[in-house]
Amino acid sequence: MEESIEQFILYLATERGLSDNYQLSTRRSLEEFATWLSSVKKITAPAGVTLGVITDYLAHSKKRGLSTSSIKLAVVAIKILFRFLLARGLIEADPAEYIPLPRAERYLPETLNELQVEQLLESISTVQPLGLRDRAMIELLYASGLRISELANARLESLLLEERIIRVTGKGNKTRLVPVGRKACEAIGEYLAKERPGMVKKRTGSEIFLSVRGTKLTTVRIWQIVKRIARHAGIEVNVYPHLLRHSFATHLLGNGADLRIIQELLGHADVSTTQIYTHVDQQRLKAVHHRYHPRARLPAGPRPDRAPPGTRGSAASSPASGA
């Protein structure tokens, strides 16, 4: 199994060009499956795997308490592995062909409200060491809805401050152009002018956001920085980088942005992924309905542009009108 997994991961990297994160996730799922096969079923080669064996593994995973989304990742990894092995002639039949994908639960994303975002940003002291960098990072995460990996990999040559645009590479190595707000541009510009030059070392690359050692910030370190800033700001909800992406989308939708535009900004391949943000806009929709629908408003006396019942047209039908 180990050799087959290595061949498959190499295929993902060289022929499919899939991201390192996807390769790591797939490898982890397959190695866990291979370990279970060896220890429980005493199977060490792909040819020994059957539909029943895979079903037993998935039942075992569910009994261990794995979430539906985690089991779905394992099923996808197993299915594409055996599809690859069959295409290469390394097995005679695909035991995973008829394994259905579990239906993942749809969790509503958490968000910060606009006041909480303001509180988070204003809590960052730009006179403290690395304050300009941290303020610029948080501003960009919220202003453009970037994923944490997109922020970590953002490069100087991809940033057009005058045009207020950043080019990012997202999932599947897909590139998109995302607008950057005025305040975020100002924060980034100040960081680039006053703080980043002093962080540059001999082997520093062109990544925008640097560590104290002059290297690219890792996603783990960005996560830690966001958590620290949130604690300092006194925000009680669980704040993490992706929460700012959720908030970005939710606030755009709440202020009237089209769902398809938000899809493009987030880099979602399918608009159904973006639609999950519509739940947070229910209050705004109710308010609009209450304001404009004639049978949703509370009674408040006759409207000035509408005559009281029984009086409409009375002037035209009075004797003085000559009718």
- Point out the catalytic residue in the list 167, 221, 227, 242: 242
Catalytic residue, from 16, 155, 171, 176: name it: 171
Q: Look up 147 and say whether it is catalytic.
A: yes
Burial class from Cβ neighbours inside 10 Å (0-12, 13-18, 19+) for residue 11 reads: middle
Edge-to-edge strands of the sheet including 159-160? 159-160, 165-169, 175-179
* Rounded Cα gap, residues 59 and 199, in angstroms: 51
CA nearest to 174, candidates 275, 72, 83, 263: 263
Is 293 part of the annotated catalytic residue set? no
Torsions phi, psi for 289 (to 5 deg):
-60, -45
242 is catalytic: yes
| 245 part of the active site | yes
| Catalytic hit among 57, 142, 191, 277 | 277
**DSSP string covering 211-243:** -TTSSBPPHHHHHHHHHHHHHHHT--S---HHH
Which residues, including other chains, have CB under 8 Å from residue 17's CB and lie 6 or more apart? 173
Q: Which of 133, 135, 147, 246 is catalytic?
A: 147
Question: Annotated catalytic, 213?
Answer: no
Which candidate in 27, 167, 227, 268 is catalytic? Answer: 268
d(CA 159, CA 188): 10
Q: Is residue 291 among the annotated active site residues?
A: no
In 3D space, the residue among 184, 216, 183 whose CA is nearest the CA of residue 199 turns out to be 216
**Marked catalytic residue, from 196, 245, 246, 251:** 245
Find out whether 178 and 166 touch, Cβ atoms under 8 Å.
yes
Other beta carbons within 10 angstroms of residue 76's beta carbon come to: 16
Question: Which are the catalytic amino acids?
Answer: 147, 171, 242, 245, 268, 277
